[in-house]
A and B are shown apart, each in its own frame.
Chain A
Amino acid sequence: MKKFESKKRYVLPGDFITTAPLRLQDNVVLEGKRIISTTIGLSDISDDSVRVLSLTGIYLPKTDDLVIGTIKSVSGNSWFADINSCYQGMLLGQDVFGRGSYPTMDEMKARLNRGDIIYARIANSDRQREPLISIADKDLGKIDSGELIKISPTKIPRLIGKRGSMIQTIEGSTNATITVGQNGMIVVSCDETNGLLKALLAIRMVDEQAHLVDLTDKVKKMLESNGV
């Protein structure tokens, strides 16, 4: 067990973590000399900083996160996408058509229209305005097919698993392709209906039972069984 893991502690909002003069990261606040947790989670103290890994809460955009969004509107030179947060993601026309371009509304709609699903990167998140998203990189862009579902963003690491183990187990067993957004949005596509329904059920199980130690076994067992 690594040295730092022994310092992880379950904390609740208002719980005291430490008085050491550390750099404050996620979900902690300084009250006088005391650093306290602002959420339910695991406190994590390192040499120079302290944070709490939250076990709950909606998705808050962070720069470089990969997210799945649904285009909600086109206006002026940008699209606005629902990224399962309290803020919509803003995708500039320039990101798609190139710097200095001035696409018409028709050109914009022809590329991406209301209801289209995209895999995007958070390019810039500052809470003063809607976060900027980008689909310029390879592997990003419109997702043509598949079932879109949502789970708690805090369960995404569990869904992916250590080095991708959980997601690979599900994909392998069902022949589904699963695209995972860090914002809790997931697209599952599968040629076979049974595989699709099983993959969806496996994802639901992770969402509802992520805290259980034997989750991996339970999911494997379900995937191996015949019916859904």
Chain B
Amino acid sequence: MGGRDTDVVLLDENGIRSDGRKVNETRKVTIKAGVLKNADGSAYIEFGGNKILAGVFGPRDVHPKHLSNADTGILRVRYHMEPFSVGERKKPAPSRREIEISKVIKEALEPAVMLEGFPRTVVDVFLEVLQADGGTRCAALDAASVALADAGIPMKDMVCACASGKAGDALILDVNNEEDQAGQADMPIGYMPNLGKITLLQLDGVLTPDEFKECIELGLEGCKQVYEIQKNALREKYFSSGDNN
């Protein structure tokens, strides 16, 4: 249980970050759609060191019944971290952090999904963090969108997500774990790219009003990059070696 290394250089004199990236560079992102046999829709994402599995069931019957809505289907999201996903082993029971993140992700997806056509049903989204490395909620949201599309849940738009922030006095894109711990601001953003709507936004840290605007713009660039990767994951599963029948 050593102390945190507060001497980490987050940004060197050449504008290079602790993991070798430039300020406007995201980590490597890969997404695969349709990785589970039982789930109606699924996706697996690696976003830097984050490894997250998303599974979707639905629309399906709601249990317990009192949660069901006579006018529309409902969305349920569970974000959960495995005991081995973080540095110090985490106990399996849901923490307050996981519960809050589940809610925030749900509210990022609700503007996109169209469930009015399925009254009295639920769409369940399960997000499992197998390895965490800063920015899990954005990566989880990215995987969730792909899994929802894979399950055929009608959506007005995909939702893409990426965090921006501030470290070493510079605005940076895609905050990693070190930068999150020792930096000056961390701002996860969720975005519907075709409709131009921001549906997830949180901030931890200190930004001036100008920085705030710039930071969002920087984050949206990251979101758009991830959007292309989401689309390619779906294209690879559904549109490749296709017979256009």
Query: A residues engaging B (CB < 8 A)?
Result: 5, 8, 10, 12-16, 27, 29, 31, 36, 38-40, 42, 54-58, 60, 86-87, 127-128, 154, 158, 211-213, 215
Closest to B61 in A: A86
A14 to B192, CA, bound (A): 9
Other A-B pairs beyond A14-B194, A38-B155, 5, CB < 8 Å: A14-B112, A40-B150, A40-B152, A56-B41, A57-B151
Closest to A16 in B: B194
Question: B154 and A213: CB pair below 8 A?
Answer: no
Q: Which residues of A contact B157 (CB under 8 A)?
A: 13-14, 36
Q: Which of B152, B192, B235, B243 has the most CB of A within 10 A?
A: B152
Within 8 A of A (CB), among B77-123: 112, 114, 117-119, 121
Answer whether A39 and B231 are a contact pair too, CB < 8 Å, given A31-B195, A211-B243.
no
Question: B154 and A27: CB pair below 8 A?
Answer: yes
| Cβ contact of B40, chosen from A10, A58, A158, A211, cutoff 8 A | A58
Q: Which of A27, A211, A213 has the most CB of B within 10 A?
A: A211
Asked if B149 lies at the interface with its beta carbon under 8 angstroms from chain A, I say yes
Question: B119 and A56: CB pair below 8 A?
Answer: no
Asked if B208 lies at the interface with its beta carbon under 8 angstroms from chain A, I say no
Answer whether A211 and B158 are a contact pair too, CB < 8 Å, given A29-B114, A54-B152.
no
A60 to B121, CA, bound (A): 12
Question: B195 and A40: CB pair below 8 A?
Answer: no
Asked if B193 lies at the interface with its beta carbon under 8 angstroms from chain A, I say yes
| Cβ contact of B152, chosen from A10, A36, A58, cutoff 8 A | A58
Question: A213 and B238: CB pair below 8 A?
Answer: no
A60 to B117, CA, bound (A): 10
| Cβ contact of A86, chosen from B118, B234, B238, B240, cutoff 8 A | B118
Answer whether A86 and B243 are a contact pair too, CB < 8 Å, given A31-B195, A38-B155.
no
Closest to A10 in B: B239
| Cβ contact of B243, chosen from A12, A60, A212, cutoff 8 A | A212
Answer whether A14 and B156 are a contact pair too, CB < 8 Å, given A31-B195, A40-B234, A86-B58.
yes
Chain B residue total in the interface (Cβ 8 A)? 37
A selection of 14 A-B contacts at a CB cut-off of 8 Å is A12-B149, A12-B235, A13-B155, A13-B157, A14-B193, A14-B194, A39-B155, A40-B152, A55-B238, A56-B41, A56-B151, A86-B121, A211-B241, A212-B241
A55 to B33, CA, bound (A): 14
Q: Which residues of A contact B194 (CB under 8 A)?
A: 14-16, 36
A13 to B150, CA, bound (A): 10
Q: Which residues of A contact B234 (CB under 8 A)?
A: 12, 40
Please give the distance in Å from A17's CB to the nearest CB on chain B. 11
Please give the distance in Å from A39's CB to the nearest CB on chain B. 6
Asked if B242 lies at the interface with its beta carbon under 8 angstroms from chain A, I say yes
Answer whether A127 and B117 are a contact pair too, CB < 8 Å, given A8-B244, A42-B244, A57-B152.
yes
Asked if B213 lies at the interface with its beta carbon under 8 angstroms from chain A, I say no
A86 to B245, CA, bound (A): 28
Task: Pick the 10 closest A-B CB pairs, nearest first.
Answer: A57-B152, A14-B157, A38-B154, A56-B152, A13-B155, A14-B194, A86-B59, A86-B121, A10-B239, A213-B243
| Cβ contact of A127, chosen from B118, B151, B153, B243, cutoff 8 A | B118
Contact with A along B145-181 (1 / 0, CB 8 A): 0000111111111100000000000000000000000
Q: Which residues of B contact A38 (CB under 8 A)?
A: 114, 154-156
Please give the distance in Å from B220's CB to the nearest CB on chain A. 16
Please give the distance in Å from A178's CB to the nearest CB on chain B. 20
A86 to B192, CA, bound (A): 27
